[in-house]
Structure 1
Amino acid sequence: MTESDLKAGVIFGDRATDEYVYMPASEIGVKVPVCVYEAPGLRDDIDFAEALRLIRVRSLRPTTHPRLGKTSC
């Protein structure tokens, strides 16, 4: 479920820690997509496998991003 949500543009995060993982709209449907990990003072491109790992390890849930809203689309 997390994988399909991420591929659909759903933003995962934790508003308390200001951490977010999402796939930019420009990457949706790309064969090898690049995702974004944001934390205070940090914005990094990460591969899809790392995005899924961070979502699991940090227990990130679908949330609302302060700039993007609920989805990256």
Structure 2
Amino acid sequence: MSRMTTEHLKAGKIFGDCNTQEYLYLPASEIGVDDPLCVIETPEGRQDITMKEALTYVLKLSLKPVRHPQLGSRSF
């Protein structure tokens, strides 16, 4: 699961929960970077997190591929 989730993030898919307004994605500026940082958005703000932390959030919060209100279904 985590390998597929990593590949989905690297392909630009946005994971989240529209009810809680929490979104997690890999910004275009991080493509091709050795240790990319993902972004997690919550109603309180945005924060950069490592790919490992991103996978933990996806699994812990049961985030699914969603449509971001501003970015759409992909981050790039």
TM-score, normalization by structure 2: 0.92
Specify the alignment match of 2:68 in structure 1.
65
TM-score, normalization by structure 1: 0.96
Q: Which runs of 5+ in 1 are unaligned?
A: none
Residues paired across the two proteins, number: 73
* Cα RMSD for the two superposed structures: 0.7
Query: What fraction of aligned residue pairs are identical, expressed as a percent?
Result: 55
Indicate whether 1:18 and 2:21 are aligned: yes
One-letter amino acid of the counterpart of residue 43, structure 2 = P
1:22-57 per-residue CA deviation (whole Å, 9 max, x = no partner) reads 000111121110100111022001011000100000
Q: Distance in 1 between matches of 2:52 and 2:9?
A: 11
Off by >6 Å, runs of 4+ in structure 1: none
8 Å Cα contact 1:9/1:72 also seen in 2: yes
Specify the alignment match of 1:43 in structure 2.
46
Tell me, what secondary structure is at the counterpart of 1:45? Answer: strand
Q: Distance in 2 between matches of 1:53 and 1:71?
A: 20
One-letter amino acid of the counterpart of residue 63, structure 1 = V
One-letter amino acid of the counterpart of residue 37, structure 2 = V
Specify the alignment match of 1:27 in structure 2.
30
